[in-house]
C-alpha cells in the first residue's frame, strides 16, 4: 500500500515538475486531488480579481443608478458561486456518451441552435437587441449565446472526432464543420443581433478544424483571404465615408479609424478607454481611483473593464493580468497534451480557443487595435451568463484532466 | 517525459498512421498546431502589451491631460446659515430656515432604452407637487436627454418635499430628482420690528438691507462651505468637504413685548385718525423710541407705517402715505420730494416700478434715525441745561413774557402771544409752560458760541453712532459759531431752525436726565456663534459727560414739573402722565417749512419714573391728520397709553394715587393696577386732586387765566367759533380749542416766513448727493 501511494505521488509530482514550483502546486500534491489544482487556483484567482474589479468599476454607476454600490458585485458573486458549483458538477459528468452515441452530437448541435430561438418569446430587450432571456421563477436572466458557444465546442469536438484525420483534413470535412458553425453564427447574428458571439463561434470552429486537420496550406490561405477582406473593408470605409451611414458595424470601423471625428458617438467608448490607459500610466492611479469609470466611461464594468484595470493598476497590473491569462491557457495546453483521446483533446482545444479569442479580442478593442466588437473579458467583465458557462467549460477541461490522470494512475 | 510515454501508448490507431504523414504522428501534429496557436496567442498578447506601452509612453501625458480637463470639478457649495436676530429675552425676530430647490436630472430618467425611471418619477412628482406642469416636464426630459441640471421648483420647505422623499425611499424607480439646499430668511414676528431689522435681498442668505440686517451684515453672514474635488500631487482626484461656517446670532436689547405695545399703539393712533381731516394716514410719520436711560440700550423703536421684511416689495403699506416723486433740482441732482398727493391703490396701479421704488425706499427707512425735522420745544431742556451747566444762569432767574420778543429786526412770538404772554416765568416755568420768550432770553445769556458748543456736546449735528444702517447726517442742518446769528440763536433755543433725528434727541435727553452721561445708543448687546458661545459682548458706552449731576437734577425737576402738578395748570405735558405714575418730560410743537401752512410736528419726550428714571421715551407725530395740528395733547396721550402698559410690564410699580375714574379706566381697558404693591390699596384717597385727562373740559385753566372762581361755567364756551380756523375766539383775540377750551398755540403766531431759516432744513426733500 505504502509503495503504491509512493508511486502515485511520484507520478503526480512529475506532472508538476518543471511547470510550477508554487504553493498551489504543492497543495495539489499534498491534497491528492484528481484534477489540475494549478488551473483551479488560476481560475479562482481570476474570479476573485474579476469581482474586485467589477466592484471597483461599477460601484459608482451602481450607486448612481440603483442606490447600492454593490449592486453589480452581488449579482456577479452569485453567478460566480453558481458557476463554481456547475464547474464541480461538470468535472464528474461522464463525457464518453457524447462520443459513443452517434446521434448525441447532433442533438447537442440542435440544442445549441434551438436555445437561441428562446429569445423570441422570452427575450428581454436591452441596448436595442434581444440578447437575454428571462428565467421564469428565479428572476434572473441568461444569455443564450453563451450556451450556444459551450454546446458548439462540445458538438464540434465530437463531430471532428467522428470524422477521422483524413476526412477533417479534406476540404469536404472542413467545410461541413464550418457550415455547421456558420449556421449557428448566422442564428446568433440574426436572432440575438450578437455579431461578436457569432464571430467567436466561427473562429472557435476554424481553430478546432485547424488543430484537428493534418495540413496547413488551406488555413494559411483562408487566414490570408480573411485579412485581405478586412483590409478591403477598411479601405472601403476610408475611401467612402458616406457609406458608413446606416450601418453601425461600418460606423464602428469608421470610428475606430478616425476616433477624433466621432468623439461624441460611437468612438466615445473607445477613446475614453484609451484616455483611461493613458491616465493610468505605468503603475496606475491606485485601486478604486479610476476617474474615467465615473460616468465618462459607459458601463465600465462590462467590455471596457480592462481600461479601468489599466487606469487603476497601470500597465504593470494589466500585463500581470495578461500573464495570468497566459498561464490559464498554458495549463489548458498541458491538459490537452495529456488528453487521453482525440475527443478530449479537441474539447480542451475548443475551450482554449474560446478563452484565447475572447481575451485577445477584448484587449485589442480596449487598446484601439481593432474596431469595437463588444467582447467581454473572461472571468473579469461583469456578466453572469458568461461566468457561468466559462466555468462549465473549465469544468470540461478539468473533466478531461481528471480522466487522463485516472487513466495514467491505472497504469 | 512520462506524459509523452502515456500519450504514445494511448492512441495506437494514430501511431499506425505515422508512416503516411512522415515522421510525425497525427497526435503530434495536433499538439504541434495547438502549441503553435499558443505561441501565436503569446505573440498577439505581446503585441497588445507593446501597444499598451506605446499608448502610455506616446500619448500618456496628452490623455492624462484630457482626462483631467474632462473632469468636472463640480464643487458643490454648502450654504452657510445666516445668523439669527433675537430680542433681549431670546425671542427670535429673524431666523433662517433650510429650504430645498428641486433639481431634475433628465439624463438619469432617460437611462436605459426602456426609460424605466421616467414614468414612475413623473408620477411621483405630479402626486407631490401639483404646481409642476408634468406634460411640459416630460417634453423637456425626453428632448434633453443629456441635461443634468434643471431647477424645477425653488425654496420648497421640508414639509413640502417630505412626501416625495418618502416615495423615493420606497420606490427605486423614482430617480433623477435631487434637492439642493438653501436658506430662506424668515421673520416669525411678521411686521414687528421691521424698521429695526431691515430685510435681506432676494433669495440668498446675505445681502442685508437697512437696519440690523445691513449694519451687522458681516456678523450675520458666515462662510459658504464647499464640497470639491481637487488633484493631489499624484494627480489623483480627491474629494474634500469644507464645512460651512454659520453666521453669528445677534442679541438685541429690543424687548419684543415693549416693541409690540409701541407698534400696537402707533397702529391704533393711525387707525383712529386715518382720513380724519384729510385723506391718508393718521400722520405723515409716527415714531417712538423707548430707551434704557442708564445704558443707551434701545428697548423699542418703531415707526409707522412698517412693512413685512419677508415681503418687502409689497406696496400695501404705502397706501395712505404721501407720494414721493423724483425731481431734478437746480444743481442737476435728482431729489425725492414729498408731494401733497396721498398714495391710493389706483395710483399704485398706474405707477411705474421706478416710482414705486422711490416710495418703497422711504418706507424701508427707519424714520427714527433717518428722518430729520425741527424738534421744537423738546429742545428747550437742552438750552436750559446748557445755560445752567455753562454758568450763564443759576436757575434762580425770573423772566417776563409779554407774548413776544424782538430779536434783531424780527418780532418772535410766544405761543401765548394771543393771550398776552406768560407773565412772570421762572426757569422751571420756562420749561413746564414751554415759554419761548424766556428761552430766547436764556439763550441770549448763553450766547451763540456756547449754544453751538453745547449742541455738539449733546451730539446735535453729529451721528449718534447707533448700530443701525441709515442714520441721517445732520451736520449741515445745525449752525456753528460763524453762521449762527442772533435770530438763529433765538429760534434754536426753542427747537426751531435746526434739524435733528429722533435718536439724537432722545440720546441727548437721556444724558440730561441720568446725571449727564451720554450713552451711545445701541441695539446689540451680545454676539454669539452658531453653537451659542459668546463671541462679543457689547457693553454700554459713555461717550461724554454732557452736563453735571446737579444740572441733571434740576432738569429732572423741571421736566417733572412739565407733567406733574407742581408745574401748575399751564404745564404743557400734563396729559402725558400714565395713571398711577410720576414721570417727567417735555412736549414739542414744531412748525415745519413752509411756516404758513400750519403743518406741525407734535412730540413728547419723557422719562419714567420721575424719581428714579429708568427709561426714556420719545413719541413724535409728524403732521397729524387733524384740522388743528398744533394740539400736543395727542402726542402726550399716545405716550401715556404706551407707558401705561410698558411700565407695569417692566415691573415698575405705581407710586401715585389713582382716582376712581382712573381705576375705572384701567379696569375697563384691562390694564394693570400695580398700586396695591406699593401702597397696599389700589384706591386713591385723594382722587379729587388728581387731574383727569379724560375730562375734556378743563375749567381750572380758565379760572387761572382770568382770576375768577372755578365754579363758573367756563367762559370760553360762550365765545363764537371762527369758521375759518375752527377755534373759539375770545374778545381779546385769544383762540381756544372749540371742544376742550385749551389755549390754541396758533402756529402762525410763533414764527412767520420772514424769519430766516437754515436753507437745508426742508425735511421733505431727500437729496441724493447727501
How many Å apart are CA A360 and CA A363, to the nearest integer? 5
Residue A31 has pLDDT above 50, yes or no: no
Least confident of A342-356, B105-119, B161-175, B305-319: B105-119
Q: At which of B219, B252, B285 does a domain end?
A: B252
Res B695: pLDDT? 40
Residue B766 has pLDDT above 80, yes or no: no
Confidence of residue A138 (pLDDT cuts 50, 70, 90): low
Chain segment B26-59, per-residue pLDDT in tens: 788 888 889 999 999 999 999 999 999 988 888 8
CA trace torsion B540, B541, B545, B547 (10° rounding): -40
Q: At which of B201, B219, B252 does a domain end?
A: B252
Q: Chain B residue closest to A314 (CA)?
A: B56
CATH of the domain at B383: 3.40.710.10
* CA B93 from centre of chain: 11
Q: Which residues 743-762 on chain B approach chain A with CB closer than 8 angstroms?
A: none
Chain segment B638-694, per-residue pLDDT in tens: 999 999 999 999 999 888 888 888 888 888 888 878 776 665 544 444 444 444 444
Residue A259 has pLDDT above 80, yes or no: no
Residue B471 has pLDDT above 50, yes or no: yes
pTM for this one? Answer: 0.61
Q: Please check whether residue B117 lies inside any domain of the structure.
A: yes
Alpha-helical (H) ranges within A193-216 are 195-212
How many Å apart are CA A223 and CA A247, to the nearest integer? 25
Chain segment A154-212, per-residue pLDDT in tens: 999 988 888 888 888 888 888 999 999 999 999 988 888 788 889 999 999 999 999 88
Residue B745 has pLDDT above 60, yes or no: no
Say whether residue A281 is in contact with chain B using an 8 A CB cutoff.
yes
DSSP string, A240-261: -GGGGTT-HHHHHHHHHH-GGG
Q: Which residues 46-105 on chain B approach chain A with CB closer than 8 angstroms?
A: 48-49, 51-53, 55-56, 59-64, 66-68, 70-71
Chain segment A58-87, per-residue pLDDT in tens: 888 887 777 788 888 998 999 999 999 999
Q: Distance between terminal CA atoms of chain A? A: 16
Instruction: Tell me the average pLDDT across B366-382.
Output: 92
Least confident of A2-6, B342-346, B377-381, B612-616: A2-6
Chain segment B702-739, per-residue pLDDT in tens: 333 433 333 445 555 666 766 655 666 666 555 666 65
Q: Please check whether residue B552 lies inside any domain of the structure.
A: yes
How many Å apart are CA A273 and CA A57, to the nearest integer? 13
* CA B689 from centre of chain: 43
Contact B674, B699 (CB under 8 A): no
Residue B355 has pLDDT above 50, yes or no: yes
Q: Which residues 201-260 on chain B approach chain A with CB closer than 8 angstroms?
A: 234, 236-237
Say whether residue B10 is in contact with chain A using an 8 A CB cutoff.
yes
Say whether residue A264 is in contact with chain B using an 8 A CB cutoff.
no
Q: A126–B113: do the CB atoms touch at under 8 Å?
A: yes
Q: Which three cell numbers stand for residue B366?
A: 427707519
Contact B113, A127 (CB under 8 A): yes
How many Å apart are CA A332 and CA A351, to the nearest integer? 8
ipTM, two decimals, is: 0.86
Say whether residue A81 is in contact with chain B using an 8 A CB cutoff.
no
| Mean model confidence pLDDT for chain B | 83
Q: Which residues 210-229 on chain A approach chain B with CB closer than 8 angstroms?
A: 210-212, 214
Q: Which residues contact B745 (CB under 8 A, 6 or more apart)?
A: B415, B589, B630, B632
Shortest Cα distance, chain A CAs vs residue B314, angstroms: 44
Residue A137 has pLDDT above 90, yes or no: no
Res B386: pLDDT? 95
Q: Please check whether residue B421 lies inside any domain of the structure.
A: yes
Q: B17–A279: do the CB atoms touch at under 8 Å?
A: no
Q: Chain A residue closest to B28 (CA)?
A: A337
**Could you identify the residue written with the cell 425735511?**
B763
Confidence of residue B743 (pLDDT cuts 50, 70, 90): low
Rg (alpha carbons) of chain A, rounded to whole number = 22
Q: Which three cell numbers stand for residue A88?
A: 464541480
Chain segment B504-531, per-residue pLDDT in tens: 999 999 999 999 999 999 999 999 998 8
Chain A hits for B237, CB-CB cut-off 8 Å, are 289, 291
Confidence of residue B20 (pLDDT cuts 50, 70, 90): very low
Q: Which residues 478-517 on chain B approach chain A with CB closer than 8 angstroms?
A: none
Q: Chain B residue closest to A61 (CA)?
A: B108
Structural domain for B508, as ranges: 372-698+742-767
Chain A hits for B118, CB-CB cut-off 8 Å, are none
Residue A246 has pLDDT above 60, yes or no: no
Q: Chain A residue closest to B25 (CA)?
A: A214
How many of the other CB atoms lie within 10 Å of CB of B365?
Answer: 20
Say whether residue B39 is in contact with chain A using an 8 A CB cutoff.
no
Res B16: pLDDT? 43
Q: B38–A360: do the CB atoms touch at under 8 Å?
A: no
A136-145, B52-61, B221-230: which is most confident: B52-61
DSSP string, B560-596: HHHHSGGG-TT-TTGGGPPTT---EEEEEEEE-SSGG
**Could you identify the residue written with the cell 430707551?**
B291
Say whether residue A360 is in contact with chain B using an 8 A CB cutoff.
yes
Task: Using alpha carbons, select from B431, B480, B473, B427 the residue that is nearest to residue B452.
Answer: B480
Q: Which residues 235-254 on chain A approach chain B with CB closer than 8 angstroms?
A: none
Q: Please check whether residue B513 lies inside any domain of the structure.
A: yes
Say whether residue A65 is in contact with chain B using an 8 A CB cutoff.
yes
Residue B1 has pLDDT above 50, yes or no: no
Between residues B74 and A7, the one the model is more confident about? B74
β strands within B470-599, DSSP E: 500-501, 517-519, 524-528, 534-537, 542-545, 584-591
Res B70: pLDDT? 63
Residue B609 has pLDDT above 70, yes or no: yes
Chain A hits for B35, CB-CB cut-off 8 Å, are 333
Res A262: pLDDT? 53
Q: Please check whether residue B267 lies inside any domain of the structure.
A: no
**Could you identify the residue written with the cell 501511431?**
B15
**Could you identify the residue written with the cell 461724554?**
B544
Q: B59–A278: do the CB atoms touch at under 8 Å?
A: yes
Confidence of residue A30 (pLDDT cuts 50, 70, 90): very low
Alpha-helical (H) ranges within B402-485 are 427-429, 436-446, 448-457
Res B11: pLDDT? 45
Instruction: Tell me the average pLDDT across A3-31.
Output: 46
Chain A hits for B121, CB-CB cut-off 8 Å, are none
Q: Please check whether residue B636 lies inside any domain of the structure.
A: yes
Among A15, A126, A274, select the one facing B63 at the smallest CB separation.
Answer: A274
Q: Which three cell numbers stand for residue A60?
A: 459608482
Q: Distance between terminal CA atoms of chain B? A: 109
Disruptive mutation site among A66, A214, A267, A375 for chain B (greatest number of B CBs within 10 Å):
A214
Instruction: Tell me the average pLDDT across B6-22.
Output: 44
Say whether residue B31 is in contact with chain A using an 8 A CB cutoff.
yes
How many Å apart are CA A338 and CA B85, to the nearest integer? 87
Q: Please check whether residue B488 lies inside any domain of the structure.
A: yes
Chain B hits for A363, CB-CB cut-off 8 Å, are 45, 48
Res B13: pLDDT? 44
Contact B164, B124 (CB under 8 A): yes
Q: Chain B residue closest to A297 (CA)?
A: B67
Q: Chain A residue closest to B21 (CA)?
A: A214
Shortest Cα distance, chain A CAs vs residue B78, angstroms: 21
Res A288: pLDDT? 81
Q: Chain A residue closest to B58 (CA)?
A: A278
CATH of the domain at B122: 3.90.1310.10
Q: B56–A411: do the CB atoms touch at under 8 Å?
A: no
Res B456: pLDDT? 93
Among B21, B35, B113, select the one facing A128 at the smallest CB separation.
Answer: B113
Q: A65–B7: do the CB atoms touch at under 8 Å?
A: no
Among A64, A127, A336, select the one facing B34 at the smallest CB separation.
Answer: A336
Chain segment B297-336, per-residue pLDDT in tens: 999 999 988 899 988 889 999 999 989 888 887 878 888 8
How many Å apart are CA A145 and CA A153, to the nearest integer? 12
Q: Please check whether residue B582 lies inside any domain of the structure.
A: yes
Sign of CA dihedral A195, A201, A204, A210: negative
Angle A268-280/A342-366 helices, nearest 10 degrees? Answer: 90
Shortest Cα distance, chain A CAs vs residue B14, angstroms: 9
Angle A195-212/A217-239 helices, nearest 10 degrees? Answer: 150
Q: Cis link prior to B305 (omega < 30° from 0)?
A: yes
Helix (H, G, I), strand (E, B) or coil at B506: helix
Chain segment A77-131, per-residue pLDDT in tens: 999 999 999 999 988 888 877 777 778 888 888 888 888 888 877 777 665 566 7
Q: A322–B237: do the CB atoms touch at under 8 Å?
A: no
Q: B48–A360: do the CB atoms touch at under 8 Å?
A: yes
Chain A hits for B41, CB-CB cut-off 8 Å, are 326, 329, 356, 359-360
Say whether residue A313 is in contact with chain B using an 8 A CB cutoff.
no
How many Å apart are CA B397 and CA B383, to the nearest integer? 15
Chain segment B618-631, per-residue pLDDT in tens: 999 999 998 888 88
| Mean model confidence pLDDT for chain A | 81
Give me the number of domains chain B comprises. Answer: 2
Strand B249-252 versus strand B85-86 pairing type: parallel
Instruction: Tell me the average pLDDT across B483-502.
Output: 91
Shortest Cα distance, chain A CAs vs residue B80, angstroms: 27
**Could you identify the residue written with the cell 488551406?**
A218
Res A3: pLDDT? 42
Task: Using alpha carbons, select from B385, B408, B603, B380 the residue that is nearest to residue B488.
Answer: B408
Shortest Cα distance, chain A CAs vs residue B222, angstroms: 32
Helix (H, G, I), strand (E, B) or coil at B377: helix
Shortest Cα distance, chain A CAs vs residue B221, angstroms: 34
Task: Using alpha carbons, select from B343, B250, B29 the residue that is nearest to residue A211.
Answer: B29
Q: At which of B202, B217, B252 does a domain end?
A: B252
Amino acid at each position: 500500500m505504502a509503495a503504491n501511494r509512493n508511486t502515485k505521488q511520484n507520478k503526480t509530482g512529475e506532472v508538476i515538475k518543471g511547470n510550477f514550483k508554487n504553493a498551489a502546486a504543492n497543495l495539489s500534491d499534498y491534497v491528492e486531488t484528481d484534477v489540475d489544482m494549478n488551473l483551479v487556483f488560476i481560475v479562482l484567482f481570476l474570479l476573485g480579481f474579476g469581482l474586485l474589479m467589477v466592484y471597483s468599476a461599477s460601484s459608482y454607476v451602481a450607486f448612481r443608478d440603483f442606490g447600492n454600490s454593490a449592486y453589480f458585485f452581488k449579482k456577479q458573486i452569485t453567478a460566480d458561486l453558481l458557476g463554481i458549483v456547475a464547474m464541480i458538477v461538470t468535472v464528474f459528468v461522464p463525457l464518453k456518451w457524447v462520443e459513443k452515441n452517434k446521434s448525441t452530437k447532433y442533438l447537442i448541435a440542435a440544442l445549441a441552435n434551438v436555445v437561441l430561438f428562446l429569445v423570441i418569446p422570452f427575450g428581454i430587450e436591452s441596448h436595442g437587441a434581444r440578447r437575454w432571456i428571462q428565467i421564469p421563477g428565479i428572476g434572473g436572466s441568461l444569455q443564450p449565446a453563451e450556451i450556444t458557444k459551450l454546446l458548439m465546442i462540445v458538438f464540434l469536438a465530437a463531430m471532428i472526432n467522428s470524422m477521422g484525420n483524413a476526412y477533417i483534413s479534406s476540404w469536404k470535412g472542413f467545410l461541413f464543420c464550418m457550415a455547421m458553425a456558420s449556421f449557428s453564427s448566422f442564428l446568433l447574428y440574426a436572432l440575438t443581433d450578437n455579431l461578436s458571439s457569432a464571430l467567436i463561434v466561427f473562429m472557435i470552429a476554424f481553430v478546432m478544424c485547424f488543430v484537428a486537420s493534418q495540413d496547413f496550406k488551406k488555413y494559411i490561405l483562408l487566414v490570408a483571404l480573411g485579412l485581405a477582406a478586412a483590409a478591403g473593408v477598411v479601405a472601403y470605409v476610408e475611401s467612402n465615408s458616406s457609406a458608413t451611414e446606416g450601418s453601425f458595424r461600418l460606423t464602428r470601423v469608421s470610428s475606430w479609424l478616425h476616433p477624433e471625428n466621432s468623439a461624441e458617438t460611437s468612438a466615445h467608448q473607445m477613446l475614453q478607454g484609451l484616455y483611461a490607459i493613458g491616465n493610468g500610466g505605468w503603475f496606475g492611479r491606485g485601486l478604486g481611483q479610476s476617474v474615467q469609470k465615473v460616468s465618462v466611461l459607459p458601463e465600465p464594468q462590462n467590455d471596457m473593464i480592462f481600461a479601468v484595470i489599466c487606469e487603476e493598476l497601470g500597465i504593470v497590473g494589466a500585463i500581470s493580468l495578461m500573464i495570468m491569462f497566459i498561464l490559464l491557457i498554458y495549463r489548458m495546453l498541458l491538459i490537452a497534451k495529456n488528453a487521453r483521446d482525440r475527443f478530449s483533446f479537441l474539447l480542451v482545444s475548443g475551450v482554449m480557443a474560446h478563452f484565447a479569442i475572447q481575451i485577445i479580442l477584448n484587449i485589442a478593442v480596449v487598446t484601439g487595435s481593432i474596431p469595437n466588437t463588444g467582447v467581454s473579458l473572461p472571468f473579469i467583465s461583469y456578466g453572469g451568463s458568461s461566468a457561468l458557462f466559462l466555468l462549465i467549460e473549465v469544468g470540461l477541461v478539468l473533466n478531461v484532466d481528471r480522466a487522463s490522470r485516472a487513466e495514467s494512475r491505472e497504469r | 517525459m512520462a506524459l509523452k510515454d502515456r500519450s504514445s501508448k494511448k492512441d495506437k490507431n494514430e501511431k499506425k498512421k505515422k508512416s503516411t504523414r512522415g515522421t510525425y504522428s497525427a497526435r503530434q501534429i495536433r499538439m504541434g498546431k495547438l502549441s503553435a496557436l499558443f505561441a501565436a496567442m503569446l505573440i498577439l498578447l505581446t503585441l497588445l502589451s507593446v501597444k499598451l506601452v506605446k499608448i502610455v509612453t506616446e500619448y500618456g501625458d496628452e490623455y492624462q491631460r484630457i482626462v483631467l480637463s474632462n473632469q468636472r470639478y463640480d464643487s458643490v457649495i454648502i450654504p452657510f446659515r445666516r445668523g439669527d436676530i433675537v430680542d433681549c429675552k431670546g425671542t427670535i425676530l429673524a431666523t433662517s430656515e433650510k429650504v430645498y430647490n428641486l433639481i431634475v436630472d433628465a439624463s438619469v430618467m432617460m437611462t436605459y432604452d426602456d426609460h424605466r425611471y421616467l414614468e414612475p418619477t413623473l408620477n411621483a412628482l405630479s402626486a407631490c407637487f401639483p404646481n409642476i406642469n408634468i406634460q411640459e416636464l416630460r417634453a423637456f426630459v425626453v428632448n434633453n436627454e443629456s441635461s443634468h441640471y434643471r431647477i424645477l421648483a425653488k425654496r420648497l420647505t421640508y414639509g413640502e418635499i417630505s412626501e416625495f422623499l418618502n416615495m423615493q425611499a420606497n420606490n427605486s424607480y423614482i430617480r433623477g430628482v435631487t434637492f439642493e439646499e438653501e436658506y430662506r430668511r424668515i421673520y416669525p414676528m411678521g411686521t414687528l420690528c421691521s424698521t429695526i431689522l431691515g430685510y435681506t435681498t432676494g433669495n440668498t442668505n446675505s445681502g442685508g438691507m437697512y437696519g440690523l440686517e445691513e449694519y451687522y451684515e458681516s456678523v450675520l453672514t458666515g462662510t459658504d462651505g464647499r464640497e470639491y474635488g481637487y488633484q493631489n500631487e499624484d494627480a489623483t482626484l480627491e474629494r474634500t468637504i469644507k464645512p460651512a461656517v454659520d453666521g453669528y446670532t445677534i442679541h438685541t436689547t429690543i424687548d419684543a413685548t415693549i416693541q409690540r405695545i409701541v407698534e400696537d399703539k402707533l397702529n391704533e393712533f393711525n387707525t383712529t385718525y386715518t382720513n380724519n381731516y384729510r385723506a391718508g394716514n393718521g400722520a405723515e410719520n409716527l415714531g417712538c423710541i423707548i430707551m434704557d436711560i442708564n445704558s443707551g440700550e434701545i428697548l423699542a423703536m418703531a415707526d409707522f407705517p412698517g412693512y413685512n421684511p419677508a415681503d418687502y416689495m409689497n406696496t400695501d403699506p404705502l397706501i395712505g402715505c404721501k407720494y414721493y416723486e423724483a425731481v431734478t433740482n437746480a444743481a442737476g441732482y435728482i431729489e425725492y420730494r414729498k408731494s401733497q398727493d396721498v398714495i391710493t391703490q389706483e395710483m399704485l396701479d398706474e405707477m411705474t416700478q421706478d416710482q414705486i421704488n422711490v416710495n418703497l425706499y422711504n418706507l424701508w427707512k427707519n424714520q427714527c434715525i433717518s428722518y430729520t425735522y425741527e424738534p421744537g420745544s423738546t429742545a428747550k431742556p437742552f438750552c436750559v441745561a446748557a445755560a445752567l451747566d455753562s454758568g450763564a444762569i443759576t436757575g434762580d432767574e425770573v423772566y417776563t413774557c409779554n407774548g413776544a420778543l424782538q430779536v434783531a429786526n424780527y418780532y418772535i412770538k410766544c405761543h401765548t402771544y394771543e393771550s398776552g404772554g406768560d407773565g412772570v416765568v421762572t426757569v422751571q416755568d420756562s420749561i413746564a409752560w414751554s415759554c419761548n420768550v424766556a428761552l430766547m432770553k436764556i439763550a441770549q445769556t448763553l450766547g451763540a458760541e456756547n449754544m453751538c458748543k453745547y449742541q455738539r456736546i449733546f451730539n446735535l449735528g453729529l451721528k449718534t453712532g447707533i448700530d443701525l444702517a441709515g442714520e441721517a447726517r445732520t451736520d449741515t442742518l445745525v449752525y456753528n459759531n460763524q453762521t449762527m446769528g442772533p435770530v438763529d440763536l433765538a429760534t434754536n433755543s426753542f427747537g426751531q431752525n435746526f434739524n435733528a433725528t429722533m435718536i439724537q434727541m432722545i440720546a441727548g435727553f437721556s444724558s440730561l436726565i441720568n446725571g449727564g452721561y451720554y450713552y451711545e445708543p445701541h441695539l446689540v448687546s451680545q454676539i454669539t456663534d452658531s453653537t451659542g458661545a459668546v463671541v462679543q459682548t457689547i457693553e454700554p458706552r459713555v461717550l461724554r459727560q454732557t452736563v453735571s449731576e446737579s444740572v441733571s437734577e434740576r432738569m429732572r425737576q423741571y421736566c417733572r414739573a412739565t407733567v406733574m402738578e407742581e408745574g401748575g395748570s399751564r404745564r404743557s405735558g400734563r396729559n402725558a402722565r400714565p395713571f398711577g405714575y410720576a414721570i417727567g418730560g417735555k412736549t414739542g410743537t414744531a412748525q415745519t417749512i413752509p411756516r404758513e401752512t400750519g403743518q406741525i410736528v407734535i412730540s413728547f419726550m419723557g422719562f419714567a419714573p420721575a424719581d428714579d428714571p429708568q427709561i426714556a421715551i420719545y413719541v413724535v407725530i409728524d403732521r397729524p391728520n387733524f384740522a388743528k395740528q398744533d394740539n400736543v395733547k395727542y402726542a402726550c396721550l399716545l405716550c401715556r397709553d404706551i407707558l401705561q402698559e410698558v411700565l407695569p410690564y417692566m415691573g415698575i410699580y405705581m407710586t401715585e394715587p389713582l382716582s376712581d375714574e382712573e381705576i375705572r379706566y384701567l379696569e375697563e381697558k384691562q390694564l394693570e393696577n400695580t398700586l396695591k404693591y406699593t401702597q397696599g390699596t389700589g384706591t386713591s384717597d385723594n382722587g379729587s386732586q388728581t387731574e383727569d385727562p379724560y375730562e375734556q373740559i378743563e375749567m381750572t385753566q380758565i379760572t387761572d387765566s382770568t382770576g375768577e372762581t372755578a365754579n363758573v361755567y367756563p367762559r370760553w364756551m360762550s365765545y363764537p367759533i371762527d369758521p375759518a380756523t375752527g377755534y373759539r375766539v375770545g374778545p381779546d383775540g385769544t383762540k381756544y380749542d372749540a371742544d376742550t377750551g385749551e389755549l390754541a398755540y396758533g402756529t402762525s403766531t410763533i414764527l412767520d416766513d420772514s424769519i430766516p431759516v437754515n436753507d437745508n432744513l426742508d425735511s421733505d426733500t431727500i437729496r441724493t448727493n447727501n
